[in-house]
Structure 1
Amino acid sequence: MMISKELVDSLSELVGCPQDHFTLEHIPSTFIVDGAEDAGYPFVEMLWFAREPEVQDKVASCLTQMIRRVTDDNTDIAVVFHKLVEQDYYENGEHF
């Protein structure tokens, strides 16, 4: 994607972790409105270990601003944060 590198660079700085800790995934989906397919809107899900509300606000703003550059000005952009629980997160079979 055209904004992926800049996005990861910005998020890395805001969150304070290395760039290789980020994974971007594009999952095509079909939006349904009133029984018919709809163009939908960007819906970003951020899975992360909880940060301070101020950091979360900055990350949401960064994501929105970057996506806004490649979408119509009237398009809604949703950002949803899912908090990971360290005891439930494993990397290569080991707790993170």
Structure 2
Amino acid sequence: MPHLLFRGVAADRLQAVTAPLAEELAAICECGTDNFTMACLHTTSVFGSQPGDPAFAFIEVGWFERGQAVRNRFAQAVTRYVGQLDIPEIEIVFHAYREDSYYINGEPVEE
């Protein structure tokens, strides 16, 4: 935790920035890099663009809320690293999980 889900970013290109991104995000969140998952979804735009139009990145972050200041730093770091891939627009949304609704192997997470 946190979980990052990337759309509009090619996995082979994203792979080049995930290690340093995880290091910076771990420092921001004060946790280990082993707490992060990052995955890419292949998407095909079927409305509002033409084939070959530059894509934009849409990144969903699922996590336990850490406050506005940490959220801002997290979003800035993700934007900086994904921006190195020459993607014209980067949008990020955060989904806050509730600790009492999060389970690992069928057991509730205890904080």
Settle same-fold status: TM greater than 0.5: yes
SS in 1 for 2:37: coil
Deviation of residue 71 (structure 1)?
1.5
Q: CA RMSD in A?
A: 1.5
Query: Among 23, 26, 41, which residue is 2:37 paired with?
Result: 23
Q: Report the TM-score, using the length of structure 1 for normalisation.
A: 0.89
Residue in structure 2 matched with residue 78 of structure 1 by the alignment: 91
Q: Report the TM-score, using the length of structure 2 for normalisation.
A: 0.78
SS in 2 for 1:26: strand
> CA deviation digits over 1:4-37, x for unaligned, max 9?
1001111000011111110000111112333755
Greater relative contact order (CA < 8 Å, ≥ 6 in sequence): 2
Bigger drift between 41-50 and 27-36 goes to: 27-36
Query: Among 13, 27, 46, which residue is 1:32 paired with?
Result: 46
Query: Among 76, 80, 86, which residue is 1:61 paired with?
Result: 76
Structure 1: gaps spanning 5 or more residues? none
Structure 2: gaps spanning 5 or more residues? 1-14
Quick check: 1:10–1:62 contact (8 Å CA) kept in 2? Answer: yes
Identity %: 28
The aligned length equals 94
